[in-house]
Each structure stands twice: as C-alpha cells, then as structure tokens.
Chains A and B, each alone.
Chain A
Amino acid sequence: MTTFQRTMKNHYRDSVALMQLSSQLRALDGVRQASAVMATANNLSLLVEAGLLNEMPKPSPNDLLVVVETRDEASATTALDKAQAMLDKPVSTAKAGETREAEPRSLQMGQRALPGANLALISTPGEYAAAEARKALQLGMHVMIFSDNVPIKDEIALKQYSREHDLLVMGPDCGTAIINGIPLGFADVVRRGDIGVVAAAGTGLQQVTCLIDRFGGGISQAIGTGSHDLSADVGGITMQQGIESLAADPKTKVIVLISKPPAPSVTERVLATAGRSGKPVVVDFIGAKARNFESKLIAGVGTLEDAAAAAVSIAKGKKASPASGRLPAKYARLVAPSAQQLKRQQKYVRGLFSGGTFCYETVLLLSEKVGTVFSNTPLRPEGRLGDVWKSIGHSAIDFGDDLFTHGRPHPMIDFRLRNERILQEARDPETAVILLDVVLGYGAHPDPAGELVPAIKEARRIAHSAKRNLVFVGSVCGTDEDPQGLSRQEARLREVGVILTDSNAQAARLSAAIVTKR
C-alpha cells in the first residue's frame, strides 16, 4: 500500500461533505484509507500520525487536501480524480455558518424533529428491536414493532411497561396497521369510518379492512397486535388494550377482533374485555367455534369475509345476518364448467399463498369439504407436509413461512418461489385447481398480477402439452385506492382465465366445490 495526495487550492467544503467524500473514496476498489481535510497544521499532523502522510508538508489552511492509501498508483489516480470531480461540482449544502435541520439518527432526534410525534415504527433486526422499542416507550411514544425474532420475555416486558404507562405496543411481528387513516407496514388504502379492528393476523387484518371498504363501510383504526400476543405467555395484552382504546374512541361504533384461536385463558380475558367495551364486537378466532363467543354484544363469525360483512351491517344499524357458509350463486354456476375441464386423475387443490392467514383460513375451509389438507401451517399434526417443496394430496403452502423467506424477500414482494411452484404444480398430473391469493397495498409488489401472469400462462402451456387443463382460482386483497389498483389487477388476472372471487374464503369454497364435483 502506498499513499498519494492532491491539494485543491481555496476549496471549501463543510465537514459533512468531507466525511461523505472520504467515505465514498474508501469504498472504491483498491483504496484502503482516504481522508479529506483542510490543510491546517493540526490536521496535517493528524494525517502524519495516522500514517497517511510520510512527512509534514507546509500547511495551507485554506486549501483542501485529499489523501488516499491505495493498492497501486492507478487506484490512487482513479480515487483522486473522483475526488476532484466531486469537489468541482457546485456546493449543495446548507453549512457555512447557517443552521441546519439535523437528519434524525435516533428516536430522540426524530421526536425533536417532529414535535408531537407519538408513534414509533421499529423495523430493525430482531435482536435490536426490543431496545429501540423500550427507548420509544420511555419517550412516551406508542410503538409498532415490525421486526420478528424478538425474545418472548422482551415482548412481555415491553407490553407490561406499555400497559402501565398507558401506551400501546403493536408487535413484535406486527406487519400491518392503519392508524388515523395512515397505512403502516403492509396495509391498504381504505375508507375511513366507524369500524375498529384489532388483529393478531396481518393478512387477516388486510382482508377484513379491504372487505369492509368493499361492502361500503370504513375503518376508524386497525391495530395489529403481533403474532405472539394471544399466547398464554403474553396474555393478549395488546389485544385487550386495543379493545379498550377502541371502546374509548368516539369514532368507533363496532369492533372487530381477528386471530387464530388464542390460548383458552387468553380467550376468556379478551372476551371479558370485549364484553366490557359497551360496543358491539365481531369476533373471528379463525377455526374456533364461533357460537362459543356469542353474547349480547359479541357476534362470533367463522371467516374473515363474514367478520367484515357483520361489522358493516352492525355499523349501519342492521343486525348481522348469520353466515350461510354456502357458495354464492355467482360462483356456484362456475363449478360445473370448471370441473368438466379436468381429467379423472386431476383430483387436488394446490393452494399457494403469500398471506399466512389466507393459507390458514383455506386449510380450515377446504378441510371441511375435502378432508385432510397438507400444509406447512396445518390444523393438526397429521396434516403437516413432510417435504414443503413437494405437494401431496390437497395442499396449501404459506410462502411467507420462515422456511421460504430466509435470505429472500417476502412473497408479497418477490414472486419467484411461488411462480416456480406454480409450474411445479402444473407438471403434477394430479393437480386440478391452483388456488392463489394476491395482496395489494403499501409494501406489496407494485404489480403482482404482472408477476403472476407469465407463470400462469406457462403453467397452462405445460398442462396443455400433457393434454390437461388447469383451473386457476384466486382472490385479490386490496382496494381501488391502493397503488396497484384492485380493478386493474383483477382485470389482468381474468385475462389469463383466473376465476376471481371477492374473498379468500369464497376462493377456498369454490376450489373445494370444483374438485368435489367430479
């Protein structure tokens, strides 16, 4: 390694610009060290001490000195030329004796930069999230922890602290919320209204809020609790606080609770809190017996769609009509023509999901009609798929599972794995229906249909070459106000023959009806 230097006469840059310049030079190939300073005697002496200068040159305080230690002279020339080019550009900094707005680099700075901010969204690697959340709480802020892999003892401590200080901790592993009309994390643009949602299920919350929007209702607040909140250890602290918040919120008329079935002790506590809210509460503990929750103020439902429909009815002053569980006529008439396309050996539904709640709800609804559904998130141990990379019988795969997301983006963003699996299922002569979910909204891929359509076309080509047809069934979770636009996305999928239903539940029921019709 050798050092090289270049002096720029009467060049003036503030310390931020010089730090950035040094940092960019260090990132160049062949550069080991780089420093850019005003050539004062004290700075030159520092460079000598650091070994970047062999001897003390004559100081020239109004000149800028750039020094690099590089692998060879060519690397040095490249680096110094780059420095020269950057320094020759017009200055675009607010320094030189003027005050500046500090870029917030901590929660404290963020709160100072935005006085009155009372919510911090934490999205760091799991091991750091609890510490950041604690800081936010101590600053008096509510917290949404997007991060997962936070130790359960930390979650408990954070939630106990927040409860004692009248603050809310959404998460860890909270991917979705809508607070005061602002979508946070993976969330959709929905109409504001008088229905409040508390959910321990991310895509469950998205489905319910989107369907409420579709049915003419609106959302006051949608609070995510994180996936571990309703465990016996955590005790449903956030869900109970969420219910209490919505009970106190004059803009909320109806409350909706969404979760997989909580631990029994937690169910009891949550329902007691719901009962005390004084407001009608719609409960979908997906897979639990709805009628167990029924009371004067609490309506139990069995699907996300039913939860949305019941909430909208109640908010409009009507009674929630009991869900029939039947396939609506507009879908029922599609069953026979779809089934007729299939060959004898095409017997199975293959559900490929990006949303965990959609997968779970599908396993539940499908298994009611077709028996065991194999999955990486099964209802019962015997339904666990031994090899998640290969479907057997009726299968439903949650591609958001850690098994699939390790080292790659979530399937709502990155469609590669799911698309490969679509082709794999198309090659399987036993595949009858490929069942898909498509999730829109902030955080999701900007054009999910655009990602899926080529794979669907190729899957059809593979099936046709084996003299088979495939039935694609799906549902799109989103609204027309989402960046991707619900109607646009649905239109593109319909163009390639995907049968779309209004909800995940209907897609599951339609798929079951097609394979059982034969």
Chain B
Amino acid sequence: MVEEAVSIGEAVPRPGFEGAVQACFDNAVNLRLRGRDRIVTLLVSDHYELPQGIRIASRPPMFGQIRVGTPAWAQDDVLRFEDASLVIDLSRAETWTCPVRSLEADMGGSRPAAAWSAAWGFLNQRQREEGSDIVGVELLGAPPSSALGRRLAEGARGLLESARGFDVDGATRAARTLIGLGRGLTPAGDDLLVGFLAGLWGAVGKNRRRQQFLGRFGDGLLALRPLTTDLSATYVLHATDGLFSSSLSNLLAAIAHGDPVSAPAEEAFRVGHSSGTDAATGLLLGLAAWQPQLLTGLLSSRAEAGWERT
C-alpha cells in the first residue's frame, strides 16, 4: 500500500535515512535512526506537524500493527518498511518549517502581554479541570503536595530564576532535576523543559545576552539527553535548535502577535494526555522569564517579590 506524505518536518534527515521501528501507536510510528541519536515520527494527522515528523493525512489499514524492530529506510523520496506493510511516497511532501526562531515576541508590549495572560488563564483552568500533576500557578505558589509535583515546581522555579539571572549552570541544574521526570514517553518534566525553551526562543529576539544564554543552556541540555527516553531526547534536541511542534509554535505565534489565543491554546493543550498542557506551561513561563511583570500577582509569597519587581 502506497501512501502519500503531505509534509515533512525540517529536522527529518534528507535525502534519506535508515532506521527501525522503535514504537508503534494508533496514529504514529516512531523510527529510531541508525547511527543517529534521534527519532523520526511517521504520524497521521490533518494538521499537526513535528520538526521530526513525516505527516500523512489518513490512517492506512494495519498502520498501528507494524512490528517493533522492523527495519525502515527513506531513499529516493520513498519511505519503505522491510515487511512491505507500508510504503510512503515523500516526493510531493512540502517541508514544514517551524516559525519560532523568527517570531521575536516583544513580551513587554501590551498586546502580547494580554495574550499571554489570557493563555495563562486558559491553561490553569484546564489543568485544574484535568487534575494535572502540573498546574501553572501552583508551580509558582505553595509547594504541591505530591512528590512529583514538588519536583516539577522546584525545577520550574529553578529554570525561571536562572534564566532571569542568565545563570547557565543554574538552569542546567534545574533542567537535570526535570529531565526524564514523570510517566510516559515524554515525561512531564521534559515537556515542561521543551516548552520553556520554546518560550525563551520566542522571547530571545536580538538581545545578545539572551542569545548567548540560550546557546550555552542548549549545550548543557544536549549533555542531559541520555537521561530521558529516546523520543523525549529527540524533542529536547530539536528544541535546542529552536524547533518545536506546530501546536506549540502556533500558540507562541498567537501570543507574540497579540492575537486571540483560545483556539491555538486549545490545539496545544490537546497534545497527548498532559504533554500539551505541560509544554504550554513551560512555554508561558519561558516567555515570562525575561518579563517578570507578567507573573506579578501570581507568586504566593513575598519572598519572590525581589525578582517579581525587577
């Protein structure tokens, strides 16, 4: 059966690659690339893009039943599986380019700030409704009661404070407490971390000090990748290059432009079980890292007022 790919993320190696099926789900097949420490994801969606994604629009029969370990390779614009269960024609696929690096959000502007506040409100409401391990405002307030929540909160605070002080070592230490923390293929700590990087990339602009911090922090993160799952490590890898999923990018773009955020926020929240809201939490914190007035009033104790006012 030949399926036609609709789009290919810019981080998918071109012109080709070799690998094997690492995991198989109803609407996604992850391929671990041979000789490279990363994953390429073949996904079924009508709109969702990944930097490492090859997107097809409809689900072929037997898609979710490809055996783990099956060799796969892309060559001459065709992705094949050794058991011939599926062939993907890549020749007409458009390259999806993540727009985050060019956004240059001015989070001091009134419209982006208003959009950020709206998104923060939606996020916290959703997380409370879903009983998430992470509730944005609780990361900044009293310590959550669960051990997982407490560690996530400590890590998030560490990231915020370190980014604000351009403390690369502190940020890397905070990232170390988060990476691989939580259930599932993309643990909550990683989602938070990737989202935080997206926020920083969105807000970095042409500020050299911020750019330097982001570059060095990225280097530190690359060294932490072996501490998490292969899939999550792939997201972290691309995040250090400023590449993120379309849903996270769209939310970031809406905030940067001061556009209505309810629709892109909803799209971002719907990724995975809690991955979407966890990453959105990181994104909003990252955007606020260098504009702490956005968080004014959200901190629960006066002890934080020092950096709140700055």
B45 touches A98 (CB 8 A): yes
In angstroms, Cα B147 to Cα A50, docked, is: 8
Q: Contact string, A6-47, partner B, CB cutoff 8 A, digits 1/0?
A: 000010111111110000000000000000111011110010
B82 at interface (Cβ–Cβ under 8 A)? no
Which single residue of chain A is at the shortest CB-CB distance from B128?
A: A106
Interface residues on A, range: 35 or more
- Chain B residues closer than 8 Å to A261, beta-carbon distance: none
A61 touches B177 (CB 8 A): no
- Output the least CB separation between A255 and chain B (Å): 39
A100 touches B273 (CB 8 A): yes
- Output the least CB separation between B289 and chain A (Å): 22
- Output the least CB separation between B235 and chain A (Å): 9
B288 at interface (Cβ–Cβ under 8 A)? no
A97 touches B43 (CB 8 A): yes
B172 at interface (Cβ–Cβ under 8 A)? no
A46 touches B148 (CB 8 A): yes
- Chain A residues closer than 8 Å to B231, beta-carbon distance: 12, 96-97
- Chain B residues closer than 8 Å to A97, beta-carbon distance: 28, 30, 41, 43, 50, 53, 186, 231, 245, 271-272
Which single residue of chain A is at the shortest CB-CB distance from B50?
A: A97
A91 touches B25 (CB 8 A): yes
B189 at interface (Cβ–Cβ under 8 A)? yes
- Chain B residues closer than 8 Å to A36, beta-carbon distance: 183
In angstroms, Cα B150 to Cα A49, docked, is: 12
- Output the least CB separation between A293 and chain B (Å): 48
In angstroms, Cα B116 to Cα A314, docked, is: 60
A13 touches B41 (CB 8 A): no
Q: From DSSP, what is the main secondary structure of chain B's interface residues?
A: mixed
A114 at interface (Cβ–Cβ under 8 A)? no
B272 touches A105 (CB 8 A): no
B68 at interface (Cβ–Cβ under 8 A)? yes
- Chain B residues closer than 8 Å to A19, beta-carbon distance: 183
- Chain B residues closer than 8 Å to A12, beta-carbon distance: 22-23, 30, 185, 229, 231
In angstroms, Cα B274 to Cα A239, docked, is: 44
B27 at interface (Cβ–Cβ under 8 A)? yes
Q: A15-B274, A98-B44 are in contact. Are A40 and B23 (CB under 8 A)?
A: no
A108 at interface (Cβ–Cβ under 8 A)? yes
Q: A40-B179, A99-B270, A100-B272 are in contact. Are A93 and B26 (CB under 8 A)?
A: yes
B130 touches A13 (CB 8 A): no
A356 at interface (Cβ–Cβ under 8 A)? no
Q: Contact string, B204-240, partner A, CB cutoff 8 A, digits 1/0?
A: 0000000000000000000000111111010000000
B73 at interface (Cβ–Cβ under 8 A)? no
- Output the least CB separation between A21 and chain B (Å): 10
A38 touches B25 (CB 8 A): no
B28 touches A61 (CB 8 A): no
B182 touches A62 (CB 8 A): no
B270 touches A43 (CB 8 A): no
In angstroms, Cα B224 to Cα A41, docked, is: 11
B187 touches A40 (CB 8 A): yes
- Chain B residues closer than 8 Å to A62, beta-carbon distance: 229-230
- Output the least CB separation between A100 and chain B (Å): 6
B41 touches A61 (CB 8 A): no
Q: Contact string, B257-282, partner A, CB cutoff 8 A, digits 1/0?
A: 00000000011001111111000000
Q: Contact string, B66-94, partner A, CB cutoff 8 A, digits 1/0?
A: 00100000000000000000000000000
A164 at interface (Cβ–Cβ under 8 A)? no
In B133-148, the 8 Å CB interface with A consists of: 147-148
A59 at interface (Cβ–Cβ under 8 A)? yes
- Chain A residues closer than 8 Å to B44, beta-carbon distance: 98
B184 touches A13 (CB 8 A): yes
B164 at interface (Cβ–Cβ under 8 A)? no
A109 at interface (Cβ–Cβ under 8 A)? yes
- Chain B residues closer than 8 Å to A15, beta-carbon distance: 182-185, 187-188, 272-275
Which 3 A-B pairs rank lowest in CB-CB distance, beginning with the nearest? A40-B180, A15-B184, A42-B181
A-B contact pairs, 8 of them (CB 8 A): A14-B273, A15-B182, A96-B27, A97-B245, A98-B48, A99-B270, A99-B276, A100-B271
Beyond known contacts A38-B180, A42-B151: 12 more, CB 8 A cutoff: A12-B23, A15-B182, A15-B185, A38-B183, A40-B227, A42-B189, A90-B64, A92-B26, A92-B64, A95-B185, A96-B25, A108-B125
